[in-house]
Amino acid sequence: DQQVKQNSPSLSVQEGRISILNCDYTNSMFDYFLWYKKYPAEGPTFLISISSIKDKNEDGRFTVFLNKSAKHLSLHIVPSQPGDSAVYFCAASLTSGTYKYIFGTGTRLKVLA
Amino acid sequence: DGGITQSPKYLFRKEGQNVTLSCEQNLNHDAMYWYRQDPGQGLRLIYYSQIVNDFQKGDIAEGYSVSREKKESFPLTVTSAQKNPTAFYLCASSTFGQGHVEAFFGQGTRLTVV
């Protein structure tokens, strides 16, 4: 049972436009959500996160939105740049109890110059 | 420089052999994790450890074993019981019990069974 889902395996966006990557989760106990960026044959690097008590967190060109009632989060990248082309994973965690990170299946973003 | 080191980067194994992947961190993190990446399946949790001498199974632990004898080391053994071991393996670490923190990843080990 996939607790964290990224239903779009790929996304193509023109340079300078907005990229929106989506993620859904099923476990209402998750209290922390993260986005990671990954290049081929490398480990993921942390991008941005949000606590369940917030609905938005912004860091430069990256903004994460959380809709708890819909169990949905999204990552907005504005403006998109060719260097943003990578696979993006969303992850969810419980900061008590078992304390582990559950990842989605990833969305491959391609920013076209 | 603090970080997580996985070795080797590429590993080839013959069918029926056990192989051990190394993961070392100097971030003073309590928690460590092993994930496996396959095309279209994201990162799946194999094992995790929140403290030395203790570890728990993740979602796909069958055919794998781990040990956590030292805080900085969390080796993963892929046994001959693992039916489809060819994959990209990622080790991660994080602090534990300090609220909302991110996990840091190593560069991965590509295991190929030949």
Q: Give how far A81 is from chain B: nearest CA, Å.
A: 24
Q: Do B50 and A99 touch (CB under 8 A)?
A: yes
The rounded distance, in Å, linking the Cα atoms of A50 and A71 is 13
A98 touches chain B (CB under 8 A): yes
pLDDT, one tens digit per residue, over A25-40 is: 999 989 999 999 999 8
Facing B108 at nearest CB: one of A36, A41, A102: A41
Facing B107 at nearest CB: one of A6, A42, A91: A42
What's the residue count for chain A? 113
State both tokens at A13: 């966006």
B95 touches chain A (CB under 8 A): no
Are B102 and B113 within 8 A, CB to CB? Answer: no
Binned at pLDDT 50, 70 and 90, residue A22 comes out as very high
- The nearest alpha carbon in chain B to A92 belongs to B102
Q: Give how far A57 is from chain B: nearest CA, Å.
A: 14
Please report, for chain A, how many H helices and E strands are present, in that order.
Answer: 0, 11
pLDDT, one tens digit per residue, over B24-63 is: 999 999 999 999 999 878 899 999 999 999 999 999 999 9
B54 touches chain A (CB under 8 A): no
In this predicted structure, the answer to whether residue B2 has a pLDDT above a threshold of 80 is no
Nearest to B91 by CA among B78, B107, B79: B107
Burial class of residue A60 (count of CB atoms within 10 Å of its CB; 0-12, 13-18, 19+) = exposed
The rounded distance, in Å, linking the Cα atoms of B31 and B52 is 9
Q: Do A100 and B33 touch (CB under 8 A)?
A: yes
Binned at pLDDT 50, 70 and 90, residue A1 comes out as low
Q: What is the dihedral of CA B26, A104, B55, B74, to 10 degrees?
A: -30
Nearest to A101 by CA among B72, B64, B103: B103
